[in-house]
Amino acid sequence: MRGPKQSELHGLLRDELTRRLIAAEWVVDLAEDTEPGAAMIGAFRRQVSDDFWATAQFWLQNWNGAEEALHVSGDVGVSYFPAYCLWPVLVEGERTELNVDLGELLDPPDESSDAMIDPMIIELAYDERVPEAATALIEPVLDLGLAWVQRHASVETLLDAYRSGALRFDGEIEAIATLLAASGRHDEARNALAEYSASEREEAHTREFRRFVFQLNRWLDAGGVIPEAPTEPVRIFDFDYDQPSREDYARKRQTRKEAFEAVRGSRTGKTRDQLREMLHAELARRGVSESPIAIELGLDAMLAQDSPFGKARFTVSSLKKLADIGVGIYKAFHENDNVTPRTPEWMEPPPRASYAVRTDFYRDSIGVGLGPRAEAVLDRVFDVAHSLWKDLALVNVWLSWDPEPPMDNSRIAVSIGNEKIGWVEVGKTDSYRASMDAAAERGELPFLQARLQHRDQAPRYVVEIPAPKE
């Protein structure tokens, strides 16, 4: 759980930065989330010409929820106002067109050197040091930041900076098209999109860029009218470390065990499907749920008990399997290389299916009821999917109403690439309704990461998707 000391320091420093910068004729940037618990501590803007604003943003560098000092960095940026209005439509967030770290303002790098610039980081551990920390962060903004912004405050200057290659890996392929579109040069923006999409550049083949292309073309096709400026945070950075307590985990684990034991004691003469229904009923009666993969492993254990030496054989193999799955899931959530592998093109969601569902790691997963053609599709998918561990893999799936537009009897279909594999399990449709509605507002469909288990016995595949964050 996020320590109260860190949250308190966040609020105190934000308030001090706000008081001083407003006195210096800056305004609070309403598009950014700066509440305690967010990555950003303060965000401010000041107009420098008709279409250009200076930005000042102050970032928390150690948002790990511990009761410890804040480590805060900052930067100054150039914001082209029409683009400021357009960015939320394109990327569901806010961006500046060009920015510089406060440390680089104070100590400009040698242009002949390729050395990385270390950001200026201010440490704040005590309430009484808040004014001192605010001074250290604000002085470079007021003394050097505005002059730096004014030197770069033109569309052509910004385009030249990106086209020169100096900012190649700093969002160039999106920034150039956005600047052109926001300044009314729509044909040039379309040409830039087409050129990047046809290139071999790695960043042009990411899901993020496909979404950007979809949204910019959608906006251009609708007439290219600049939206109103945002009046509230366009994206909430919710680093929520409020996970269930050990006592809560232990209670639910014991309750689930009791449900499994109740069904195990009545298993004689029952089919697997009957046992599964009984287990769901026992879990529901006790007010808990279980992931589909865990349920199938539990059923394997029950049925193995009725075969010679089955219990001992299954106990050893299942314990190893559960341990392996645990290692795989840990790696998936803690090692970036295991989370974002390159997905084959045929497995990628279509560009429209780009709305990332905010999911909750601490809630149970929801099952996918597989369709008649799913097994053949999943055989092909599992051969190339990112394996968590042996028989467990991660795969991107996307959701759509079936039929669409939604009616009272519509289900939520689950697809991989262009192949529909099944539907969100009965009774769980409402869990994703808010995500479906939010995606529809942007002309999009939701996508998220599913866990796929390959099995040697029926059912040959189990697919589960994480529950949305409430």
For residue range 251-265, list pLDDT tens digits in order: 888 998 999 999 988
Structure tokens at 391: 């028989």
Structure tokens at 76: 């100054």
Structural domains of the chain sorted by starting position, each given as residue range(s) with its CATH number in brackets: 4-221 (no CATH), 246-333 (no CATH), 341-466 (3.30.70)
Bridge partners, 72 (sequence order): 60, 122
> How confident is the prediction for the chain on average, in pLDDT?
86
Residue 463: pLDDT over 60 = yes
Q: Are strands 98-101 and 386-389 parallel, antiparallel or unpaired?
A: unpaired
CA atoms within 13 A on the CB side of 33: 13
Q: What percent of the chain clears pLDDT 70, i.e. is strictly above it? A: 84
Q: Specify the DSSP element, H or E, that contains 73.
A: strand 70-80
Residue 205 binned pLDDT confidence (cut-offs 50, 70, 90): confident
125-129, 202-206, 312-316, 397-401: which has the highest mean pLDDT? 397-401
**Dihedrals phi, psi of 334, to nearest 5 degrees:** -125, -10
Residue 124: pLDDT over 60 = yes
Percent helix / strand / coil, the chain, rounded to 5:
45, 20, 35
For residue range 360-373, list pLDDT tens digits in order: 766 678 999 999 99
Question: What is the distance in angstroms between the CA of the first residue and the CA of the last residue of the chain?
Answer: 17
d(C-alpha 375, C-alpha 459), whole Å: 10
Residue bearing the bigger pLDDT, 405 or 188: 188
